[in-house]
Structure 1
Amino acid sequence: MGSSSCVKFFFVFILCCHVLDVGTAIDTITSSQSIKDTETLTSTDGNFTLGFFTPQNSTNRYVGIWWKSQSTVIWVANRNQPLNDSSGIVTISEDGNLVVLNGHKQVIWSTNVSKTSFNTSSQFSDSGKLVLAETTTGNILWDSFQQPSNTLLPGMKLSINKSTGKKVELTSWESPYNPSVGSFSSSLVQRKNIVELFIFNGTQLYWRSGPWNGGIFTGIAYMSTYLNGFKGGDDGEGNINIYYTVSSELGPLGFLIYMLNSQGRLEEKWWDDEKQEMGLMWASRKSDCDIYAICGSFAICNAQSSPICSCLKGFEPRNKEEWNRQHWTSGCVRNTGLLCERVKDQNTSIDTNEDGFLELQMVKVPDFPERSPVDPDKCRSQCLENCSCVAYSHEEMIGCMSWTGNLLDIQQFSSNGLDLYVRGAYTELEHDEGTNTTIIIIITVTIGTVFIVICACAYVMWRTSNHPAKIWHSIKSGRKRGNKYLARFNNGVPSEHTSNKVIEELSQVKLQELLLFDFERVVAATNNFHLSNKLGQGGFGPVYKGKLPDGQEIAVKRLSRASGQGLEEFMNEVVVISKLQHRNLVKLFGCCAEGDEKMLIYEYMLNKSLDVFIFDPSKSKLLDWRKRCGIIEGIGRGLLYLHRDSRLKIIHRDLKASNVLLDEALNPKISDFGMARIFGGTEDQANTNRVVGTYGYMSPEYAMQGLFSEKSDVFSFGVLVIEIVSGRRNSRFYDDDNALSLLGFAWIQWREGNILSVIDPEIYDVTHHKDILRCIHIGLLCVQERAVDRPTMAAVISMLNSEVAFLPPPDQPAFVQSQNMLNLVSVSSEERQKLCSINGISITDIRGR
């Protein structure tokens, strides 16, 4: 080899060594193994990197940790002491600390551990935590989770020591391009045994989360114990810790962070692998209502109103001129003094009318609550007996909260939140509740009722003398039997769970509260139940279309004598649906009970039932994605009304496609309440030996154990969602290759990323791809095997409306294998009769006139 060749080889060798030196990432920092500006330290899974970076629009160099790319920096070491060149080094100093040195070997940042070993090293974990540990023992001396920057990572704990007040908190960047410590910080605060998360602007409170109940912050409307994996509390060592975890099954969506930005906004973000950037899911400030106490004292902020601030009932603006200019910070003052204050001031009893409470529903409760572990009734009485108490609220996990000072930072939510009871003067309560009007109404109704009863008696005497059928005698006997059943109408057995209050209320329901149709009137309306008017056939009997003399079209549900649905179910449906008014529930016009005839008269639905459309190849084309999406949301809102918003908490127990009717505009209306169950008091779950419902829609805990709750309806809703999206029946679907049910088929395709095979081709449009996938995702969440894993209908509605951007991964649904369902169907005929729905209204058998 010639001399020139040797020189070339030498230079190539040197260049290769330099390239290798630059491109190689080490995994450990020791006193002999440092990181220069061109080098990095990488976590085992390759997701997190420690190295030098320069922010956008800056020339400074910082040592930081980032996820995937330098656009997602989640921790910075030398925040307030940047390097101005590329000569920096990260190493272990002689005293064992991890340090950042500049080009002059000067320490510009250190872990600053006072008691260290001389034999230490620094490594990454796959959680993004940088640790300094003793090499021989493995004892951790310092970690980056204890000194966070502006980002909370999964597993990282925000904490406060109850004795010393020492905090682990987030601090904002000065600006998006300057990592130095900004003016905003976020930390836990414990006052009077109640923990909240605060954001401070310097020392001034800027935002608060509302009280922590052990699973959620009650003042963050979107949070739920189901959707958010937050945990924490007192660790037994004097610290209050709160942290969150994310399931590894989420894949790229599994990286969730909470970042405090330079504007003081706490943001929940997730990594978008496709865009290679962080996507925003939630922010602590969505409107001005999120600014702490923006409306001042004794006022409430509602982002949906204009103006957003209003005084509480019984209060008026302290400075009306400022208030009218929308300067609300001076707040509101009480219109009328409280009784206890007047008695205290004058030391005499002025009147006997006591103060009371005005209820605010679904709110972020005020700041500065005092906590006591008592039940709701005691909570109310304690507040009423204490003249200084101006409001109270009760939350199951927190207990009683009361307020004795100004009520600050109340916010109105559209869902979730807590109920707040604000003390009001008797005159305010009287005016608000319309006591005098109520008395007048009661007297009027009583007199009217007596008059109607007298007329009814006269009418009965006349009718029975001219009618062999003795119609009103049968109605009277029906009432007696009905009252008997009202005390035990749930499941045919006495209900130990239903509260006395609900039973007492229901026992007052009489058939005469509805319009009573006599048999001849129904016969005339249906043309003597002519075959051309028959709409469908169910296990209870036929349904007929009818028209009243005034032109009102009706649907008549006629219970056959052979039907399993007897007086109990008939009375149950009358009682339940007579209490309900919602646009997504079918309206009951009246009933007929004469002799052996039992009929229910409903509003007529032009488009029959949902199954007529989605399972018919020709009619399914009439339901595009937007219509199906609207139907799904409408059914969900109807269920939410039954579970949470109606006067009584009702579990439907037989939700299916044939029990969802469609009006002329294809709006869904839930029907058939013969199997519905009313829950009383604080009851959440019940057990029955008599399982009713329809195979394919029943939840596993109900089908197998007779346990039912609102989560049973959620399961049925999930099945319905997947049926609507796929256009296939769950009960009749069978995948020959894998013996899968429709739920199993959808689950496998979802897991394998082949979800397009589940979607009805009639509705698929690439522009709706994400929305359709979201609906399937929600459906799979609803049909998970364990009831506790399923969301509530309130959470489902939030998901459907995209108020909740991040959806957790679903677990395997119940009844994945079709064989599981076949095993159920193969029970004895006697058991099958118990299990099959006896209230299966299905307006699907369409016949021409």
Structure 2
Amino acid sequence: MDTNVVRLKFVFLLFFPCLWTPHAAKWVYVPSARISSTASGDSLNPGDTLNSSNYIVSAKRRFALGFFHRRIDSTTNKSYLAIAEIADQSRPFNLFVWFGSGSNAILNNSAMFTLDGKGTMKIVQEDGDPTVLYSPPKPPKSAVATLLDSGNFILKELHLNGTMKRVLWQSFDYPSDILLPRMKLGVSRKTGKTWSLTSWSTELIPDPGPFSLEWNPKGYQLIIRRRGEVYWSSGALMGGKVFKNISPNVTSMYDFVIVSNEDEEYFYFSNRNQSLVSEWLLSPMGQLKDLKGEDIARADNCDGYNTNGGCQTWKQPMCRHQGDKFDLRSGYLVAGDFSPPYNSSHGISDCRAICWNNCSCVAFTSLFDNNTGCQFWTRNYLLPNVGKKNWIWIGISIAIAVTLLIILLCILCYLQRRKVVIEGNNEADENELIDLGTSEGSNINDILIDGKKGHDLRVFSYAHIAAATHNFSLEYILGEGGFGPVYMGNLPTGQNVAVKRLSKNSRQGIHEFKNELILISKLQHMNLVKLLGCCIHEEERMLIYEYMPNKSLDYFLFDQNRSKLLDWKKRFNIIEGIIQGLIYLHKYSRLRVIHRDLKASNILLDESMNPKISDFGMAKMFKQNELGANTNRIVGTYGYMSPEYAMEGLFSIKSDVYSYGVLMLEIVSGRRNNSFYHTNHVLNLIGYAWDLWQKDEGIQLIDPKISDSCVKNQVLRCIHVSLLCVDDSATDRPTMSDVLFMLTNESLPLPLPKKPTFSIGRKAIKENIFDKESEAYSLNGLSISEMQAR
């Protein structure tokens, strides 16, 4: 017998789980592609299709239908046809109430959902048979599929005058694990069809799980079954208002309706507060919960013996007794001394039931990382008997407790130290990251251990970088500014890099160097430039970045000839990519980051012209609950600064929004923000755009080089959103999440912009700016702003 042992992070030993996994962890989805709605409003007409880049929205914008990735699948090519609730602009898709493709994922983003001329609705894939949602026995003369504000997607036959004749098919007849108001639970006597909820296999796997929620018309009650066994009952509905086993605090929120006739028997609920849309979720562990309210039922607390809260009894194994329960433990079990693993269709609830019904089973755990499959251990192979060796286990327990206490104290000390580091302007961070704070510098040999130094950054030797740049040859200079030159380098691996070399005479540059090294090492996103490492040698300080073959946005955008290579499709892709990068900085990175120097020269372009935000020397990072700050050292680029920052030193994520508004106007117009300054006329790009907008002549702002390729309504929408971004009031500016939602939802009405008074008379604030950009270079794509202190 194999005597090796396996360390189990979580082993379930006689434990009755009563855990609630937050619903949000399950319902985290992202659109399967950049979304630009090309479908018509809330409906599909015969011949219309949905693919991975468009979707339809209900009339009052409560629900959307389209193809979506689950977040855990975001790195794969799988997507699902689904109906999503639109919660708000910052989190437009946070709950998915119906899956048209069921648990079958669509591969390669190649699927199309279509309604053909014969009234057939189906999902068509490049590889694989079509999934038919509905095919009428006789083609209707006229049909249309509409997404309603109730969340119901219906296919209806129309009269000749366009009014509805009858409903041919509806998504409410095919519920998953979500029950919406007015969705039926019951049975059709005419067709024999039942309406019931079915839980997922696990919180992450949409396969049918063990639990179902049904309506029992004979008892006028809701029941929850597990694999056919009744685990919980609501008790009869009394007076049409109250269920015996559901808290009155819960039932007071709803109106309950029972329909019983010769055709059908069913139950549904509606909200007494009509402005609220509740969703009931049946979890993989058997909990029924209103996602906007309280627990409705806890079938996961039912063990077959108790009758508390509506639990039902059922026949139990002879070896189990009332009071027996599972207990959560972590420990060692003998490898190989467990029963064969069960298939991946089993969730943890199935593992618990199987172990409970097997008298030799004393422990179980999931087999796979996604909580599917089972492993079981028998009594003969459990760890040594606790009763015979209590003193051993007591000693072990004490040792573990002391160890955990020491670890906890270490963690607390570390957190306290980290707090001091952050509050002390990152001085300790600077010391930790290769003693950048000393003017004497550090020899690379003193810190090079395994080629890396924290945050997955590589520390390059000076000789290595000198060789890559041909000893910093003038021929390899890509650009030069106030911080120093930028060189192209070629590593022995064949990889091209950009080397940003700090000028020895720039004291301010040292500060930016430290800031960028510490900050950007914490950031990872496809729309942020990647910092590969650094090099410190005596007084030399260098940052090594991935090389951008297409240099920077300003290199193309403001050049008479090169700008022709940026058609509208490429420009809009750049617009969206910058938004995604800023959303990550403002919302999803470990620390909230405010860039403070967003401009065209700091947007690099890769080989496919995808944008990457660069130059974090002036950026500031905060905890996620911190919104902004005040500074007496104003840095940035003239013309991109928000008024509250330039005038008062106040900056926040809305400062970046302002800069982005200016940048988007530049992308649309192909002109620099300051290109409108004249001797007797100080109107800048913002003011020029506002004047055209007021005259309803916004089309004149569009760069003539994209007039043939652009989508006029889309460009005008970009101008409109830009003017919202440069609002004088930071509070009234949208967030970057709002900006993305407004640009990708063309049917969404936009608020009217207000006149940006900051667009005229820049001379009035000039004396309040301590640092300003004198000149910028961006030949490689690594821009360097020359900053002069005043």
Shorter-normalised TM range? 0.3 to 0.5
Q: Which has the higher contact order (CA 8 A, sep 6+)?
A: 2
Which one has a bigger Cα radius of gyration?
1
After TM superposition, the score normalised by the length of structure 1 is: 0.45
